[in-house]
A and B are shown apart, each in its own frame.
Chain A
Amino acid sequence: MKTNDVILQTTTKVVFFIIFLFSIHIFFAGHFAPGGGFVGGLLTTGALLLLLLAFDLKTVQKALPFNFIIVIGIGLLLSLGTAAGSIFFNVPFFTHAFDHFTLPLFGETELHTAMIFDAGVYLVVVGSALTMIQTIGGDA
């Protein structure tokens, strides 16, 4: 039986970007408001999950040609690298640094190395979840 998911697929195309942007927002907001790398990563996963449900596995893989195992690796390296970077400045492992800068477009902004660490968390969460979903879903 052939099903027609035009409405689902069309809505997904719109909703996906809303969820995705929301997850990016949550991720960046993490330091001052509820959110962070973990929730952000999970929300992105949710968005991708929606794509997977609306379209099929092969289409999504064609659209997003990432090897998610490598995403996990990059995430882990990013987190560990941030944590380890502090030893080059002769401070204990895992010491973060932050300062306020005036950036064009953003204005007065706080930049914090914890953000890089959180980005690693984000990537690991997305990578792991997608690895699991893709392998389980692809194992028919």
Chain B
Amino acid sequence: MEFVLLIFLPILAAFFVPLLFKKIKGIHTGWFVLLVPIALFIYYLGFVTTTLDGGTAVSELRWIPSLGISFVSYIDGLSLLFTLLITGIGALVVLYSIFYLDKNREKLNNFYVYLLIFMSAMLGVVQSENLISLYLFWELTSISSFLLIGYWNTRDRSRFGALKSMMITVFGGFMMLGGFILLGIMGDTYSIRELIAGSSALVGQDFFTLALVLILLGAFTKSAQFPFHIWLPDAMEAPTPVSAYLHSATMVKAGLYLVARFTPIFAVSEVWVWLVTGIGLLTLFWGSLFAVKQTDLKAILAFSTVSQLGLIMSLLGASAVAYHTDDALFKFAAFAAIFHLINHAVFKGSLFMVAGIIDHETGTRDIRKLGGLMSIMPVSFTVAFIGSMSMAGLPPFGGFLSKEMFLQSMLALQHFELFNFATWGIVLPVVAWVASVFTFIYSFYFVFKTFTGKQKEKPLPHTPHEAPFGMLISPVILASLVVAIFFIPNVVGKWLVKPAVVAIQPDLYTQPSDVAVHVLAWHGIRSEELWMTIALIIVGFIMYLTMHKWQKLYDIQPEYVSLNALYDAVMTFSEKGMNGLSRFYMTGLIRTYLLYMFAFIISITTATLFIKKAFVVDMNSFAPVSVYGMMIAIILVIAVGMVIFAKTRLSAIIALGAVGYSVALFFVIFKAPDLALTQLVIETVSVALFLLAFKHLPALSNHGETKRTKLVNAIIAAGVGITVALVALSAHSQKLIPSISQYYKDTVATEAGGGNIVNVILVDYRGFDTLFEIAVLSIAGMGVLAMIKLRLSRKENTDENK
């Protein structure tokens, strides 16, 4: 079966959602939607046995073969892991949303359509083997995520959050497209497998580092890395199922997927190792630091997600080190990254669901108003407790194992000797440890401030009670997975993690069983990471107990010194700045626009003339000057001067007539009788027309021009005149090919049966021009008729713009 088509299954299903919503009122639409992720999950489970031995499966749908663009579903360990996360957690989220969203009050048809589009897009991102189709699905996730965040589009905050996430992720997406195209140019293919196979030829090419940075920008914006993490907390305005699905388990991991996928290509670069590890650690630290500041449950989780994504990112950066050294110490990081990725998706999903339950059952998410819910909501508390403890990295939960591996990897990095790691490497585990302390604090803060202590005196918006059974199914399943992972880490490792590690580091391993990592919960008393964990528990616990004393320190940071303020300032500035710029040069005065045009014509033409050394004056090509010619020229110049300096319109019209008649005289002395005739008559008719319209014209005014603007006008006019004169001189002085007029002279009688070459050219040789010129004349005549007869101003002040 062509399983590439399955990527499009959710989108296809989305077509039926509005129909089901409108026609079947009794059943919550979510139940029908639920079938899609479940079916996909079961189908994709079948591939686990393939990837277990390092096998892959490929299915191709050709889209634009001539450009090398196709939809390719490529399933290896890494994409299968993500596929299972997307479909599995997708199914749980849909199940949860059935109880979370009311079928009578919510626009479920919209919600599930967006969600299914998102699911397709996400499957496409992780399975695509072609850079261009990967980009297509990538942007589709941005768009569907925009729609989902703005689902409650009547709220200001929702629209703001949706716009913000759109701006940031689409910016990253564009950068990534640039990187993809550069990669495509360098490797001469859009296929990721072929690029990986030929990666050694890419290193050292001109665009290599640029492509690397651009692709990382895409990954960092999507995965909410510092300083692009600011969209994620604002995206919490989305319904909680969306937050649980997009902003913890799937979409924000697309950036991690991208980094993992491109590790075989870019890992040899020093920039990659430093950027990915550095930004990851910075994000980890920053996110955990600011999570403690938050008072909104979902905001705490958002910052915690940012922080955990940074953790995984830094591990992926560390895994690139394995390309530079054979030391077994560093082969650990990739495994740790994938392992924590699974852990995080599981526990963060459950935590978001619990936050949603609390919101749903009490009416608030403000942690300052909550407290003492443990006895009222025991199941939710248990789930929240398991998730938080896993997040804090305590046994016996999955998070403990990945935290141990994380600390181990960071400790190992200081032994790495390339790229100045020996000097700066010691900073890495220190930062990681401090961040872990804060992680510990906010995990405790999240669960115990909400569920323990006394109930607050102020009544909550709703009387709190335990959530309905259906809403609890998904978080309970996820929480039991959290515990299960702790007890069977090596099973998870064998079936899911190791095949993914082979996909990240194909040069190091030939098959998954080569990955020599055995997860141990107990490393022995002498291991450094154990003591680090113990220390962080002690310090973290003390700090949690004294939290009310130092949490106020966060208030030191003023509101206007923050990344959000920077984002707002940039948005305001770009809007106001661009507006101001447009207003500055779009004056609405034709004079200004003419000035721009003429100034550009002058500068471009003269620059070209002299840069290209095209200015030549050849005196030999000039004809001798006749006395008549001189006289007419003098008359012409005087007449033109009169036109310019005329004080009244009448004298200007008459001077213009003088110009026309002297031009006719020029035609006479240069032996162009037809032109002279035409010029004389047309001049007469047009002067007559001018005089006809004369009495309707307003008095000649100076249009508010000052001396300065007149000076500018004079300079520009002189410039244009000189430019045209220079061009005409040079053009006349260098004739590259002989004129074709000899042909006309030879054939005018034999071929065309005429004697007047001018007229024969007009009606016979080049009659097309004449045909369209008379068309122009007719249009002008009818235009005059239409303008005068159909004048709108005769009706009352009809402004067509109003």
Interface residues of A, Cβ cutoff 8 Å to B:
26, 30-39, 42-43, 45-46, 49, 68-69, 72, 75-76, 79-80, 83, 94, 96, 98, 110, 112, 114, 117-118, 120-121, 124-125, 127-129, 131-133, 135-137, 139
The contact of B785 among A80, A98, A129, A131, by CB within 8 Å, is: A131
B65 close to chain A: CB less than 8 A: no
The answer to whether B648 has its CB under 8 Å from any CB of chain A is no
B693 to chain A, nearest CB (A): 6
Measured CB to CB, the nearest residue on chain B to A114 is B763
Interface bits B627-670 vs A (CB < 8 Å: 1, else 0): 00000000000000000000000000000000000000000000
Q: Name 14 A/B residue pairs within 8 A (Cβ), A-sorted.
A: A32-B756, A34-B673, A35-B674, A35-B759, A36-B758, A37-B763, A38-B678, A39-B678, A46-B681, A79-B774, A114-B752, A120-B774, A128-B781, A139-B696
Q: From the candidates A46, A83, A96, name the one contacting B684 in the complex (CB within 8 A).
A: A46
A59–B775 Cα distance when bound, in Å, is 30
Asked if residues A132 and B674 are in contact (CB atoms below 8 Å), the reply is no
Question: Which residue in A49, A114, A137 is a CB contact (below 8 Å) of B685?
Answer: A49
Is there contact, CB below 8 Å, between B784 and A132? yes
Task: Please choose the segment from B180-188, B268-276, B497-505, B764-772 that sits at the chain A interface, where 4 or more of its residues have CB less than 8 A away.
Answer: B764-772
Question: Max chain B CB contacts within 10 Å: which of A26, A83, A112, A132?
Answer: A132
Contact A34 B782, beta carbon cutoff 8 Å: no
In the complex with contacts A34-B673, A36-B674, A132-B759 CB distance below 8 A: no
Of A72, A83, A98, which is within 8 A of B781 by CB?
Answer: A72
**Docked complex Cα distance between A39 and B676 (Å):** 10
A32 B767 Cβ-Cβ under 8 A: no
B677 — which chain A residues lie within 8 A by C-beta? 26, 34-35, 39
Q: How far is the CB of A94 from chain B (nearest CB, A)?
A: 5
- Give the Cβ gap from B704 to chain A, nearest Cβ, in Å: 29
B752 closest partner in A (C-beta): A96
Is the CB of B682 closer than 8 A to any CB of chain A? yes
Contact at A33–B767, with CB atoms within 8 Å?
A: no
Determine whether the beta carbon of B774 is less than 8 Å from that of A124.
yes
B762 close to A (CB within 8 Å): yes
Q: Mark B683-696, 1 if CB is under 8 A from A, else 0.
A: 01100110011001
With beta carbons under 8 angstroms apart, the residue of A35, A76, A120, A135 that contacts B788 is A135
Q: Is B754 an interface residue (CB 8 A)?
A: yes
Q: How far does the alpha carbon of A121 sit from the alpha carbon of B784 in the complex, in Å?
A: 19
Known: A31-B754, A131-B782, A132-B785. 5 other contacts (CB 8 A): A34-B756, A75-B774, A80-B771, A83-B771, A124-B774
Task: Tell me whether B684 and A124 are in contact (CB under 8 A).
Answer: no
Point out the residue from B681, B692, B770, B788 that lies within 8 Å of A121, measured CB to CB.
B770
Answer whether A135 and B784 are a contact pair too, CB < 8 Å, given A31-B759, A36-B674, A114-B754: yes
A114 touches B764 (CB 8 A): yes
C-alpha spacing A81/B716, complex, angstroms: 47
Interface pair A128/B777, CB less than 8 Å apart:
yes
Residues of A within 8 A of B422 (CB): none
Residues from chain A with a CB closer than 8 A to the CB of B788 are 135-136, 139
For B780, list chain A residues within 8 Å (CB).
Answer: 128, 132
B325 to chain A, nearest CB (A): 78
Complex formed: what's the CA distance from A42 to B682 in Å? 7
B789 CB within 8 Å of chain A: yes
Question: Among A34, A96, A114, which residue has its beta carbon within 8 angstroms of that of B674?
Answer: A34
Q: Is B459's CB within 8 Å of the partner chain A?
A: no
B778 at the interface (CB under 8 A from A): yes
Question: Contact between A69 and B785 (Cβ–Cβ < 8 Å)?
Answer: yes
Give the CA-CA distance A79 to B767 in the complex, in Å.
10
Residue of B nearest to A42 (CB): B681
Indicate if the CB atoms of B782 and A72 lie closer than 8 Å. Answer: yes
Nearest CB to that of B672 among chain A residues? A34
Query: Is B778's CB under 8 angstroms from A133's CB?
Result: no
Mask, B734-758, CB within 8 Å of A = 1, is: 0000000000000000001111101
Which residues in chain B, 223-278, are within 8 Å of chain A measured between CB atoms?
none
Per CB-CB distance, the 5 closest pairs between chain A and chain B, nearest first, are: A128-B781, A32-B755, A34-B673, A98-B753, A42-B681
With A118-B763, A125-B777, A136-B692 known as contacts, the answer to whether A33 contacts B755 (CB < 8 A) is yes
Taking a contact as CB atoms under 8 Å apart, the answer to whether A39 and B674 are in contact is yes
Q: B759 to chain A: closest CB distance in Å?
A: 4
Closest CB-CB distance, B247 to chain A, in whole Å? 66
Complex partner residue of B763 from A43, A46, A117, A137, CB under 8 angstroms:
A117
Kindly identify which residue among B688, B771, B784 contacts A49, using a CB–CB cutoff of 8 Å: B688
Closest CB of chain A to B308's CB: distance in Å? 74
Determine if B681 and A43 form an interchain contact, defined as CB atoms under 8 angstroms apart: yes
Chain A residue with Cβ nearest B781: A128
Contact A128-B778, Cβ < 8 Å, known A117-B767, A136-B693: yes
Is the pair A94, B767 in contact by a Cβ cutoff of 8 Å?
A: yes
Measured between beta carbons, the chain B residues less than 8 angstroms from A112 are 753-754
Chain A neighbourhood of B759, CB < 8 A: 30-31, 34-36, 118
B760 CB-CB contact with A under 8 Å: yes
| Closest residue on chain B to residue A45 by CB atoms | B685
Q: Are B767 and A132 interface neighbours, CB within 8 A?
A: no
Does the CB pair A131–B685 fall under 8 Å?
no
Q: Are A32 and B781 in contact (CB under 8 A)?
A: no
Chain B residues contacting A94 (CB-CB under 8 Å) are: 767-768, 771
Interfacial chain B residues near A131, Cβ < 8 Å: 781-782, 784-785
Please give the distance in Å from B292's CB to the nearest CB on chain A.
80
Proximity bits, B186-208, A CB within 8 Å = 1, else 0: 00000000000000000000000
In this complex, the member of B681, B755, B781 whose beta carbon has the largest number of chain A beta carbons within 10 angstroms is B781
State in angstroms the CA–CA spacing of A47 and B767 once bound together. Answer: 27
Which residues from B are CB-within-8-Å of A129?
685, 781
A127 close to B778 (CB less than 8 A): yes
Q: What residues of chain B lie closer than 8 Å to A132, measured between beta carbons?
A: 689, 780-781, 784-785
B681 surroundings in chain A (CB, below 8 A): 39, 42-43, 45-46
Known: A135-B788, A135-B789. A72 touches B756 (CB 8 A): no
Asked, given contacts A35-B677, A136-B692, A137-B692, whether A30 binds B782 with beta carbons under 8 Å apart, the answer is no
Chain B nearest CB: distance from A130 CB in Å?
A: 8
Residues in A neighbouring B688, C-beta threshold 8 A: 49, 133
Q: Roughly how many angstroms separate A90 CA and B753 CA in the complex, as a whole number?
A: 21
A97 nearest in chain B by CB position = B753
| Alpha-carbon gap, A110 to B749, bound state (A) | 12
Chain B residues, Cβ within 8 Å of A46: 681, 684-685
Q: Which residues of chain B are within 8 angstroms of A79 by Cβ–Cβ distance? A: 770-771, 774
Contact B692 A76 (CB under 8 A): no
In angstroms, how far is the closest chain B Cβ from the Cβ of A110? 6
**A contact residues around B785 at 8 Å (CB):** 69, 131-132, 135
Chain B hits for A139, CB < 8 A: 696, 788
Instruction: Collect the chain A residues with CB atoms within 8 Å of residue B756's CB.
Output: 30-36
A112, B751: Cα distance in complex, Å? 12
Q: In whole Å, how far is A117's beta carbon from the nearest beta carbon of chain B?
A: 5
Question: For residue A35, which residues in chain B have a CB less than 8 angstroms away from its CB?
Answer: 674, 677, 756, 759
Q: Are A72 and B778 in contact (CB under 8 A)?
A: yes
Q: Which residue in chain A gives the minimum CB-CB distance to B755?
A: A32
Query: Considering the chains assembled together, what is the distance between the CA atoms of A74 and B272 in angstroms?
Result: 76
